[in-house]
């Protein structure tokens, strides 16, 4: 990463502000798994990605602190996530430790699918000050877990053991967050709920956060799977809540997430802008650009990126300071 590349503006790396007191920190796009339902087409089986990004630790922290200051936040929840798996980040423990040193960081949470999780890594993260691990575990059945992860080598039993070690021996909390893929792991969901409750997940926060499978433009869709409607999804969650006496429909308040002043947009939708091309894009047909202190995804060109040149573009979207512009 070049120092001249802002870490606000891209969905795949850097800092994401959605107008609350929680900031997403995305240090890497890499993932060892190839989940068959992956909404961001990650891992070895990717079909759309042409670049993976890994962000320098100091640079990431500089932009995190800058964002907190720009937003005028006194306290912030740091949430480490990725369009991949944060555990692939070589400096993940150091990142947590450095975040912990910042007096304005209220909580630190991280999500993972657990493929790279070991007892040692869990201990190191705990010592560094991680408050909560959101573990996406989509099946307890080992064959089904291999199938869902698109990775024959993936051993869910190993992940289960580490999860049980976390709840029994470490300070950090565990939130189990399976992705429910209708028709594929329906029978696993109640088993996962029972297991999460049995092992004592959710000491400080809710123990479970069941995720709805959603189709995305560049995501993977397993054959024959239909997307559930939100209404249907919540109706089933309500029934499961009654059956197990546990909260499954989560709200921002459950994590003390509050609306705050968003980071100002520097580019507006439909604005015509000159963008400096700085590198290859994340997905096919994209370039990476910089304009007005934001990183911009440039779409609409199949050729090699003319690095260093300024091109004219029209901003297509600017929501949450994530910018996509079409080269004109």
Contact residues for ligand SF4 (CB under 6 A)?
A: 31, 33-35, 38, 40, 42-43, 84-85, 113
Nearer to ligand SF4, 43 or 207 (CB): 43
Q: Say if residues 112 and 135 touch (Cβ distance below 8 Å).
A: yes
Task: Provide, rounded to whole angstroms, the least separation between the CB of residue 135 and ligand SF4.
Answer: 11
Q: Say if residues 148 and 181 touch (Cβ distance below 8 Å).
A: yes
Q: Say if residues 188 and 195 touch (Cβ distance below 8 Å).
A: no
Dihedral (C-alpha) 176, 180, 183, 187: value to the nearest 10 degrees?
Answer: 20
Burial class (CB in 10 A: 0-12, 13-18, 19+), 242: exposed
Nearer to ligand SF4, 92 or 277 (CB): 92
Nearer to ligand SF4, 88 or 107 (CB): 88
Nearer to ligand SF4, 222 or 262 (CB): 222
Task: Provide, rounded to whole angstroms, the least separation between the CB of residue 150 and ligand SF4.
Answer: 7
Task: Provide, rounded to whole angstroms, the least separation between the CB of residue 85 and ligand SF4.
Answer: 5
Nearer to ligand SF4, 35 or 128 (CB): 35
Task: Provide, rounded to whole angstroms, the least separation between the CB of residue 84 and ligand SF4.
Answer: 5
Nearer to ligand SF4, 152 or 264 (CB): 152
Task: Provide, rounded to whole angstroms, the least separation between the CB of residue 111 and ligand SF4.
Answer: 8
Long-range CB contacts (< 8 A, 24+ apart) of 313-319? 313/272, 313/273, 313/274, 313/275, 313/289, 314/270, 314/271, 314/272, 314/273, 315/267, 315/268, 315/269, 315/270, 315/271, 315/272, 315/273, 316/269, 317/269, 318/265, 318/267, 318/268, 318/269
Task: Provide, rounded to whole angstroms, the least separation between the CB of residue 35 and ligand SF4.
Answer: 3
Distances in whole angstroms, Cα of residue 4 to Cα of each of 8, 163, 267, 295: 12, 40, 18, 10
């Amino acid at each position: 990463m070049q120092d001249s590349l802002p870490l606000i503006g891209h969905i795949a790396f850097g800092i994401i502000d959605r107008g609350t007191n929680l900031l997403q920190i995305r240090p890497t796009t890499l993932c060892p798994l190839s989940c068959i339902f992956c909404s961001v087409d990650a891992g070895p089986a990717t079909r759309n990605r042409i670049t993976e990004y890994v962000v320098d630790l100091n640079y990431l922290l500089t932009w995190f602190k800058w964002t907190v200051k720009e937003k005028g936040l006194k306290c912030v929840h740091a949430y480490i996530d990725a369009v991949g798996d944060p555990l692939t980040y070589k400096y993940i423990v150091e990142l947590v430790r450095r975040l912990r040193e910042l007096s304005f960081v209220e909580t630190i949470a991280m999500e993972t699918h657990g493929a790279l999780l070991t007892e040692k890594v869990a201990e190191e993260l705990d010592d560094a000050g991680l408050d909560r691990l959101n573990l996406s575990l989509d099946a307890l059945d080992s064959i089904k877990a291999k199938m869902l992860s698109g990775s024959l080598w993936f051993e869910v039993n190993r992940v289960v053991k580490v999860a049980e070690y976390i709840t029994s021996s470490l300070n950090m909390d565990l939130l189990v967050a399976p992705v429910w893929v209708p028709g594929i792991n329906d029978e696993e969901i109640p088993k996962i709920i029972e297991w999460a409750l049995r092992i004592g997940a959710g000491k400080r926060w809710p123990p479970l956060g069941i995720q709805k499978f959603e189709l995305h433009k560049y995501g993977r869709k397993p054959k024959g799977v239909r997307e559930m409607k939100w209404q249907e999804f919540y109706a089933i969650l309500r029934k499961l809540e009654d059956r197990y006496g546990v909260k499954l429909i989560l709200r921002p308040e459950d994590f003390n997430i509050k609306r705050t002043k968003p980071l100002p947009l520097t580019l507006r939708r439909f604005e015509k802008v000159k963008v400096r091309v700085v590198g290859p894009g994340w997905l096919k047909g994209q370039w990476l650009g910089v304009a007005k202190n934001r990183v911009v995804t440039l779409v609409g060109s199949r050729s090699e990126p003319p690095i260093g040149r300024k091109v004219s573009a029209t901003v297509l979207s600017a929501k949450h300071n994530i910018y996509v512009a079409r080269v004109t």
